[in-house]
């Protein structure tokens, strides 16, 4: 199964927000994820429309994880981000094999199994551990590397 880049970045942004329960700017998320700020702004707006995050403008504004998001199953989040589409499109252009082909059903079954497997994991499970927490720190708070001896 292949996720779109937008879904991948949206999941990573949600993980960063979940790792540190605090407001972040879209530009901060863009910098941490090494993506253009304009692209991250579009992703944040999509997450807001889906109800996954809240946003506010102005001083002290930014992006915050919506209540209950850390308990949401990852498969549910992926399904919302990816939409209801199927792995293959047999109709555009029309497939000459569609009358007796079982590929669409097999791929739909695999897609459902993929989402069901992801539903066994919650967003909070993805952010457990110190490595992600250290990446989620603002640059000014990140631990500095040890100095080398002369």
Residue 18 sits in a domain whose CATH number is 1.10.10.10
Per-residue pLDDT of 73-110, as tens digits, reads 999 999 999 987 777 777 778 878 777 788 888 888 99
pTM of the predicted structure, to 2 decimals: 0.80
Which stretches within the chain are classed as H helix?
5-19, 26-33, 37-49, 74-82, 103-118, 123-126, 130-135
| Domain assignment present for 100 | yes
| Domain assignment present for 20 | yes
- Cβ–Cβ under 8 Å, residues 18 and 123: yes
Helix, strand, coil share (%) of the chain residues, nearest 5? 50, 5, 45
Per the structure, the complete domain to which residue 116 belongs is given by: 5-135
| Domain assignment present for 148 | no
- In whole angstroms, what is the distance from residue 2 CA to residue 5 CA? 9
| Domain assignment present for 84 | yes
- In whole angstroms, what is the distance from residue 3 CA to residue 22 CA? 27
Task: Indicate the number of domains in the chain.
Answer: 1
């Amino acid at each position: 199964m292949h996720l779109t880049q937008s879904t991948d970045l949206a999941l990573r942004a949600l993980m960063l927000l979940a790792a540190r329960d605090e407001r972040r700017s879209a530009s901060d998320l863009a910098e941490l994820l090494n993506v253009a700020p304009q692209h991250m702004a579009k992703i944040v707006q999509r997450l807001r429309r889906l109800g996954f995050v809240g946003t506010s403008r102005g001083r002290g504004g930014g992006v915050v994880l919506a209540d209950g998001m850390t308990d949401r199953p990852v498969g549910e989040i992926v399904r919302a981000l990816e939409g209801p589409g199927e792995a293959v499109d047999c109709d555009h252009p029309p497939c000459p094999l569609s009358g007796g082909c079982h590929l669409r059903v097999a791929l739909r079954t695999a897609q459902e199994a993929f989402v069901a497997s992801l539903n066994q994991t919650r967003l909070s499970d993805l952010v457990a551990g110190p490595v992600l927490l250290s990446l989620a720190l603002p640059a000014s708070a990140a631990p500095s590397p040890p100095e080398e001896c002369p």
